[in-house]
Amino acid sequence: MNRKEYFEIPWAALRSMCDPSFAKRAVFSHSEYLPHGNVITSAAANITDTEVVTAKGDKVAYDFAVIATGHSETGAYTKDEKFSQYQTDHQKIKSASSILIIGGGQTGVELAAEIAVDYPDKKVTIVHRGSMLLEFIGESASNKVVHWLKSRKVEIILGQSVDVNSAKDGVYKTSGGQTIDAECHFICIGKPIGSGWLKETVLKGSLDIHGRLMVDSDLKVKGRSNVFGIGDITDIPELKLGYLAQRHAGITAKNIRLLMKNANDNNLNVYKPALPLSLIALGKKEAVAQFYCLSCIGRLPGMIKSGDLFVGRTRKQLGLLSELQ
């Protein structure tokens, strides 16, 4: 069950905004990788001990349920809507000579880098509320990114926010009273955790104070014998990353198969939180990588992620061809 009729490799979105043709491989219908599955296109609105209720009111009975609603999103329910959203973003970027990016987390930084590399003549400004960009990585890695962006003429304003509704004639005011001229803006602040729909359900007691779904080491939701939690929605103490969500999925699939054969809980596979490795793309060739307190920036980490953004690899993992025919 998914609220959208398509799957999207989320971290390819920033490149698709600059180059909409990139989305052709990163956005595909659920039926392409699940030819024999039954996909219900609707938001899940409630879960009971035996069924999930969709936003349309349909009831779907389950023996096992896996909750993987990482982040909640709005808009673009169909593939065509998504492609046209990228065309609109692309036109916006292409026609503006100055662009304001609000938010200096991974989304804001990767978008600024894509624009700075593809359109070196455009003036890009990032306004970030925090005291450093990419707060989840260390200070040294963050400083390297600041240096990289500044060397490409990206202006960075830290410790301030912008109320876009108060913008007038292309002039934006920051909370610190600074003014920024920009012909368009992109809001790149984190999406809310996709657990809002669980708050009035039988799983409300399994959410922590941040709204994350608490899971045991076998990835069963705390206090539940047939409901699993995987991906960004969980409280697993590790960075929230897609390849880790895929690992959770693999373990969960194995555990469900074991439980279907009446295995004992003690025989279930156990997930160990991953080591803290971050990789942030800086355009098509470079990246910054951090492992514990070690970090490096440039073409070497870029060779791992930035060329294809793992799109071909993810497609292959889902049983699709890496390239379109």
Considering the rule CB under 6 A, would residue 43 count as an interface residue with ligand FAD?
Answer: yes
Considering the rule CB under 6 A, would residue 197 count as an interface residue with ligand FAD?
Answer: yes
Considering the rule CB under 6 A, would residue 315 count as an interface residue with ligand FAD?
Answer: no
CA distance 157 to 132: 10
Closer by beta carbon to ligand FAD, 3 or else 284:
3
Considering the rule CB under 6 A, would residue 278 count as an interface residue with ligand FAD?
Answer: no
Span 76-115, contacts to ligand FAD by CB under 6 A = 106-107, 110
Considering the rule CB under 6 A, would residue 69 count as an interface residue with ligand FAD?
Answer: yes
Closer by beta carbon to ligand FAD, 232 or else 286:
232
Residue of 16, 65, 70, 125 interacting with ligand FAD (CB under 6 A): 70
CA distance 197 to 199: 6
Candidates 57-65, 167-175, 237-245, 294-302 — which segment interacts with ligand FAD by CB under 6 A? 237-245
Span 3-22, contacts to ligand FAD by CB under 6 A = 3-4, 10-11
- CA angle, 238 then 198 then 213, to 5°: 20
Closer by beta carbon to ligand FAD, 116 or else 233:
233
Q: Other C-beta atoms within 10 Å of 105: how many?
A: 18
Residue of 245, 253, 274, 318 interacting with ligand FAD (CB under 6 A): 245
> Chain centroid to CA 196: how far?
17
Candidates 116-124, 162-170, 199-207, 228-236 — which segment interacts with ligand FAD by CB under 6 A? 228-236
Identity of residue 77: Y
Write out the H or E segment, with its range, that includes residue 314.
helix 311-317
Whether residue 92 contacts residue 115, with contact meaning beta carbons closer than 8 Å, is answered with: no
Least distance (Å) between residue 136 CB and ligand FAD: 11
**What are phi and psi for residue 81, nearest 5 degrees?**
-60, -40
Concatenate the DSSP letters of all residues of 65-88 into one string.
EEE---B---S--SHHHHHHHHHH
Closer by beta carbon to ligand FAD, 40 or else 167:
40
Candidates 66-74, 145-153, 206-214, 317-325 — which segment interacts with ligand FAD by CB under 6 A? 66-74
CA distance 87 to 82: 9
Closer by beta carbon to ligand FAD, 243 or else 291:
243
Phi-psi region of 17 (alpha: psi -120 to 50; beta: other; left: phi over 0): alpha
Residue of 29, 31, 73, 90 interacting with ligand FAD (CB under 6 A): 73
Closer by beta carbon to ligand FAD, 83 or else 310:
310
CA distance 14 to 90: 10
Cite the beta strand spans of the chain per DSSP E: 6-8, 27-29, 44-47, 51-54, 59-61, 65-67, 98-102, 123-128, 154-158, 171-173, 179-181, 184-187, 227-229, 277-282, 286-291, 294-298
DSSP β-ladder status, 59-61 and 51-54:
antiparallel
Span 131-160, contacts to ligand FAD by CB under 6 A = none
Candidates 79-87, 92-100, 226-234, 266-274 — which segment interacts with ligand FAD by CB under 6 A? 226-234
Considering the rule CB under 6 A, would residue 254 count as an interface residue with ligand FAD?
Answer: no
Least distance (Å) between residue 142 CB and ligand FAD: 15
Nearest Cα neighbor of 41 from 52, 55, 62, 25 is 55
With CB under 6 A as the rule, give the number of residues binding ligand FAD: 30
Give me the residues that bind ligand FAD (CB under 6 A), please: 1-4, 10-11, 43-44, 68-73, 106-107, 110, 194, 197, 231-233, 240-243, 245, 279, 305, 310
